[in-house]
Amino acid sequence: MRAWCIEEKQLQLHSLEAPQPGPEEVQVQVKAIGVNRADLLQVQGRYPAPPGTSSRIPGLEYAGVVSAIGKRVQKRKVGDAVMGLVPGCAYAEQVISHERETLTIPQGITFIHAATLPEAFLTAYRALFLEGGLQPGQWCLIRPATAGVGLAATQLAITLGARPIGASREPNKLTAANDLGLVAQVRENGTFTAQLNTITDGEGVAVILDMVGPDWNDLLGGLRAEGSLVSIGVLGGLNTELNLGALLMKRQTLKSMTMRSQPLEKRIQLAQVFNDRLAPLFANGQLRPLPLETFSFENAIEAHKHMASNDFSGKRVIVVK
């Protein structure tokens, strides 16, 4: 098989022996690969693969067809159309996944569009509803509401009855989120507290999904009492100063999460959440795949350049022929 490998902090295309599935695993003939910022960081040497996963081949998100199964596989068969998340090695023509970690591609969704779903929608759902406890009718802040996770979070919040507010440094980049039904927007200008309290009539938001950091004091001023801030990224920096007194007085909760480093059983549980709760919403049209740009498998390096430019609200997808 062909695979993109990391060599001296650069991607290089190699011919490798195809991986074979273990007893409870499936081999997937990859049709499309979702590009994520973690892929760029791994190539740069800033985000190593978790223990037990090869760091040589990047890639967390795939869609394709089951091409071989292990001897104890029960629920998947050769020919099944699947998508999913893996800890690594998706930038290849074949990838291995535990059968219970695979997701069924919703009816009517192409492989290319399926490759935009797992990372963005599972991350957003887990952050807002499982970690943050967001309920129908409540306000939430999505920061930023521009790229894949932000757009997925906007859709999920609206579909499940919450009221999303989107943040961005550049309001024109919120066009895609506005088209999805974003209720309100705020600017990244150091006045989150005032903006959020104005929009919510002083109530504050119940959940903040934050991918930026580190100015949490301003964010927490717009978070209601007993609200939750869920951090899933640190694009703005690693260090912050925090007013613990204000945090205590409002009994607020800070949480952080990643998807990639979770143990297998946790990943299997999330796969079940997608198959049970989210897949039906795609099948009936309440949720839609994200806007996308496509690149051929041979042009994976170009896909990374486009991702690094931050000039597109949506997902980049590498198409494998």
Taken in order of first residue, the domains within the chain and their CATH numbers are: 2-119+260-319 (3.90.180.10), 132-256 (3.40.50.720)
Q: For 127-183, where are the E strands, in sequence order?
A: 139-143, 163-168
Of the candidates 178, 195, 194, 177, the one whose C-alpha atom is nearest the C-alpha of residue 186 is 195
Q: Is 7 helix (H, G, I), strand (E, B) or coil?
A: strand
pLDDT exceeds cutoff 90 at 237: no
Helix axes 148-159, 118-125, angle to 10 degrees: 50
Distance between CA 143 and CA 29 in Å, rounded?
A: 35
Q: Which pLDDT does position 167 carry in this prediction?
A: 96
Neighbour-count burial of 286, counting CB atoms closer than 10 A to its CB (0-12 exposed, 13-18 middle, 19+ buried): middle
Q: Which pLDDT does position 1 carry in this prediction?
A: 98
Q: Which pLDDT does position 171 carry in this prediction?
A: 84
Distance between CA 198 and CA 182 in Å, rounded?
A: 16
Q: pLDDT tens across 165-215, in order?
A: 999 988 888 999 999 999 999 998 889 999 999 999 999 999 999 999 988
Q: Which amino acid, residue 29?
A: Q
Of the candidates 124, 120, 75, 133, the one whose C-alpha atom is nearest the C-alpha of residue 99 is 75
Distance between CA 240 and CA 290 in Å, rounded?
A: 32
Residue located via tokens 């292990």: 70
Q: For 25-93, where are the E strands, in sequence order?
A: 25-35, 61-69, 81-85
Q: Which pLDDT does position 236 carry in this prediction?
A: 85
Distance between CA 238 and CA 132 in Å, rounded?
A: 21
Q: What is the pairing mode between strands 205-210 and 184-187?
A: unpaired
Q: Tokens at residue 245, please?
A: 């007194």
Distance between CA 282 and CA 105 in Å, rounded?
A: 9
Is the separation of the CB atoms in 118 and 275 below 8 Å? no
Q: Which pLDDT does position 304 carry in this prediction?
A: 98
